[in-house]
Structure 1
Amino acid sequence: MAIALWKLAMPDSYRSVRNQFGVGKSNVGAAVLQVANTVIDQLLSRVLTLGNVQTIVDGFNALGFPNCGGAIDGTHIPILALAHQGGQYVNRKGYFSMVLQALVGHKRCFTDISLGWPEKVHDARIFRDSGLFEQLQEGIYFPDQKITVRDVETPVVILGDPAYPSVP
């Protein structure tokens, strides 16, 4: 655990961490991977949860957005250069990053994320290739709840900038 936390917290190389703890370089990688997988298995579902959809819809309604189930956008997460694919991860501002797509509820809590895309991938593609899109298409992410706005039945919607397509 200490090896993984040290590596994740410090910008040290695997060689430097190996020397710090007196273990093999492959042991450092294995420790980081094991801790990361444990965090995903044990904690991710507690941090990223849709929760009560009606509470989210009601919260957005109070903010002036009727029948809204979330707001979505992407952001750049700075990363260290990837030797074999570095050019793909250089963003328009000149530093290495990957794209994080996030869906948040009315209290700005994450309800879904997709991470790892190179900077050059468009938001619409990230969305269409995400698990969120698949769940929305299958009708399992939001309930079949519609409201009538000016004689038009409207399902639960997600707010996003023009990069995100309107999908049924």
Structure 2
Amino acid sequence: MRPAIPLQKHVAFALWKHATPDSYRSVRNQFGMGRSTVGVVLMQVVKAINRVLLRRVVHLADTDAVIRGFGTLGFPNCGGAIDGTHIPICAPEHQASQYVN
């Protein structure tokens, strides 16, 4: 039997996996875990986040009211904004006027 993997390593692994586009194999090498352990640990952390933290995440109470609010600011059909980050949009040519970048 091997010693248990510390909780801090579980969280660090899951954050690393979600923050980088690395494969399970490269993350496995980074943290010294077995390939099957990688999948198990990731699922455990994600389930714990969903069960415990998801209720504490800020979410929209009334989506229609938020869309109307952004519409009055000059952003029609916008359901939210992320931290002022610019995200480029590739709009289809036939509907380019419907997309705001």
TM-score range, shorter chain: 0.3 to 0.5
TM-score by length of 2: 0.48
Give the number of the structure whose residues are more often helix, by fraction.
2
Give the number of the structure whose residues are more often strand, by fraction.
1
